[in-house]
Structure 1
Amino acid sequence: MLVVTRIRTYGGHMSHLTHRLVPGPAGRIHLVEQGTGPLVLLLHGFPESWYSWRHQLPVLAAAGYRAVAVDVRGYGRSSRPEAVAAYRMTELVEDNAAVVEALGERSAVVVGHDWGATIAAHSALLKPEVFHAVALLSVPYTPPGGPRPSEVFAGIGGEEEFYVSYFQEPGRAEREIEPDVRGWLAGFYAALSADTMPTSTADAHHMPADPHFVAPGGQLRDRFPAGRLPAWLTEDDLDVYAGEFERTGLTGALNRYRAMDQDWKDLAAYAGAPIRRPSLFLGGALDASTTWLSDAIDAFPTTLPGLHAAHLLDGCGHWIQQERPEEVGRHLTEWLGSVTSGR
């Protein structure tokens, strides 16, 4: 195991962070940790990295936890297998279990945002003996089962194409992103942030131009807001994200979308299964992930019977732990106190 300890300045404050490369099923897993105490595993979403937890690492460490933010398979310094099948949910769950073992622990609380929330949820579902509590940010839990994902997404949007279908076609999104990774990321982050969401109109009915859809013959970036970064994202922050993806490309990250139908097969035995471990949900009231999936939130008494609380933050978009770091830190530490006491 390679251990590299560094002191770096991120977001204007000094943090003592330990960077590690640990062995995983696909090769290596890069993680960043701070603090000592019960292990809390932090999983990012698309298109981010461990860096999206930069505000929570010191908060959790100060509260008495060993906070560990991972570069999910396909991102950053973690391994990037070529095969789409390597990005199945079952593979990503095994990565998380490997991190817990490599760090010398037997169990952990798992916290995820966006795709990381879905990975965290399935970690608690498939390996409840390892992941004894789970917090989901932005994307609520929906149990496995139902129609095949690609068929569902293909039917959304009418003449326009839903972004998931757009991402699922190999190479297509890469051709859009690669010429200007930094500009594309800035636009994507802005499109889903509360203070920079698009307000232009798409048609005669004065419906907002939704950045989750692609017009015929167009690109996803056609509806990104231009010229202004969200308040939570500095130029230096954007440099960190852009630098990672300019080095690695986006294919590893996008392959998560391309493996969804294989998940549907792999997880058939868990169709409709609830997560019984203690749980927490945090979402942004302006986030499409919470408005489109409001039925999933309503179903939490059935799907998350161990739910401690579900909080929707007013005026908040998709990037919740970066848009509202203080509130997210407070909710997480309060909840963690209830699920780790006595362990």
Structure 2
Amino acid sequence: MQPEPTAELRHRIIETPAGRLHLVEQGTGPLVLLVHGFPESWYSWRLQLPALAAAGYRAAAIDVRGYGRSSRPAATDAYRMLDLVQDNVAAVRALGEESAVVVGHDWGSNIAASSALLHPEVFHAVGLLSVPYAPPGGPRPTDVFGRIGGPEQEFYVSYFQEPGRAEAEIEPDVRGWLAGFYAALSADTMPARGEPDPHFVTHGGRLRDRFPTGPLPAWLSEDDLDVYAAEFEHTGLTGALNRYRNMDRDWEDLAPHRGAPVTQPSLFIGGTLDASTTWMADAINAYPTTLPALSASHLLEGCGHWIQQERPAEVNRLLTDWLTTLQS
């Protein structure tokens, strides 16, 4: 397998059940499909695409349905997990491959895990960043999230679930909101222990009221922020937020798979300062049962939520080392 360090980025539009899916690919070799989270885009993998290409892989980072140059269906229920999984399957097929490794971050981690669970014949290995795998099941999600926070504040997931509510906060100043949201979950700019938690909204308030107001995190340049802001100023946030508005539908759709493990080779990488990782510590502890073919679980000390952008060298090394084991 020969590395291709000078390979160029290639933008492509492919057909999916929802219409078009935009992706950016680099390199040749076994296919690695990269799935971003909220509120991001294919650009979140800009530091992984060349590294994977140089290691001898064909890396393809998608714009998830509702983001960037991909289609944005009008119906809220067009963003349920089953549909996003089918988009991933369509991407693999459109790229001329029978199977792929799928790697996801944040919501992309859930989408990647669900893709592997529902289509093991297509996704023969899965990498999960920041958000651990937890099998389908348990109580209805809105019931759980509605109890978090108590009488004085509301969990951000519940806040995002009400159509139009978060949009009214975000869209008058997309760039400023994104800057605050990214900073709130980054290791070097997140609020200190004891300060108001940006995962919660005071009743009648806004999420951004708890964002830090200082400099951008070290991983995010002004130019990077411009890229993200330009995407969402063009698309709006509704498509992205509709992922949160389908959690109960997902709970119903995936009921036949309650408690099911993902049995393909897997990898998890989280940050010790990331609430997604710390809140779901029980899910990580359950990996011997839920991810029985787990190759390794890594927690990067002092790392926040945007793991592949905050610590690209470490993440790239862990990903490429793991991918190498899949070829042996």
TM-score by length of 2: 0.97
SS at match of 1:135: strand
* 1:296 maps to 2:289: no
Out of 206, 212, 222, which is 1:235 matched to? Answer: 222
Shift of 1:227: 3.0
Shift of 1:93: 0.3
- Distance across 2 between alignment mates of 1:131 and 1:109: 6
- Distance across 2 between alignment mates of 1:85 and 1:130: 25
Shift of 1:216: 1.7
- Equivalent residue, structure 2, for 1:96: 88
SS at match of 2:166: helix
Unaligned segments of structure 1, at least 5 residues: 1-13, 201-206
* 1:122 maps to 2:114: yes
- Per-residue CA deviation, residues 209-234 of structure 1 (Å, 9 max, x unaligned), is 10000012110000100131000000
* Number of aligned residues: 323
Kindly provide the amino acid, as one letter, of the partner of residue 218 in structure 1. G
- Distance across 2 between alignment mates of 1:249 and 1:153: 25
Kindly provide the amino acid, as one letter, of the partner of residue 12 in structure 2. R
- Equivalent residue, structure 2, for 1:185: 178
Kindly provide the amino acid, as one letter, of the partner of residue 56 in structure 1. Q
SS at match of 2:13: strand
User: How do 1:40-119 and structure 2 match up within 5 A?
Assistant: 40-119=32-111
In the alignment, is the contact (CA less than 8 A) between 1:112 and 1:135 conserved in 2? yes
Shift of 1:81: 0.4
- Equivalent residue, structure 2, for 1:226: 213
Unaligned segments of structure 2, at least 5 residues: 1-5
- Distance across 2 between alignment mates of 1:111 and 1:199: 31
TM-score by length of 1: 0.93
* 1:324 maps to 2:316: no
- Distance across 2 between alignment mates of 1:275 and 1:125: 5
- Equivalent residue, structure 2, for 1:339: 326
In the alignment, is the contact (CA less than 8 A) between 2:7 and 2:27 conserved in 1? no
Kindly provide the amino acid, as one letter, of the partner of residue 166 in structure 2. A
> Following superposition, which runs of at least 4 residues in structure 1 exceed 3 angstroms of deviation?
none
- Equivalent residue, structure 2, for 1:264: 251
- Distance across 2 between alignment mates of 1:29 and 1:259: 20
In the alignment, is the contact (CA less than 8 A) between 2:37 and 2:104 conserved in 1? yes
Out of 214, 229, 240, which is 1:253 matched to? Answer: 240
- Equivalent residue, structure 2, for 1:208: 195
Shift of 1:15: 7.1
- Distance across 2 between alignment mates of 1:252 and 1:216: 24
In the alignment, is the contact (CA less than 8 A) between 1:38 and 1:340 conserved in 2? no
SS at match of 2:74: coil
Kindly provide the amino acid, as one letter, of the partner of residue 200 in structure 2. F
Q: 1:174 to 1:185 in 2, by over 3 A?
A: same
- Distance across 2 between alignment mates of 1:47 and 1:16: 25
Out of 169, 183, 188, which is 1:195 matched to? Answer: 188
- Per-residue CA deviation, residues 278-313 of structure 1 (Å, 9 max, x unaligned), is 000000000000110000000000000010000000
In the alignment, is the contact (CA less than 8 A) between 1:76 and 1:248 conserved in 2? yes
Tell me how large the CA RMSD over aligned residues is. Answer: 1.1
Kindly provide the amino acid, as one letter, of the partner of residue 191 in structure 1. A
- Distance across 1 between alignment mates of 2:128 and 2:145: 22
- Equivalent residue, structure 2, for 1:10: none
In the alignment, is the contact (CA less than 8 A) between 2:34 and 2:104 conserved in 1? yes
- Distance across 2 between alignment mates of 1:157 and 1:302: 30
- Equivalent residue, structure 2, for 1:276: 263
In the alignment, is the contact (CA less than 8 A) between 2:7 and 2:53 conserved in 1? no
SS at match of 1:112: strand
SS at match of 2:20: strand
- Equivalent residue, structure 2, for 1:17: 9
Kindly provide the amino acid, as one letter, of the partner of residue 79 in structure 2. Y
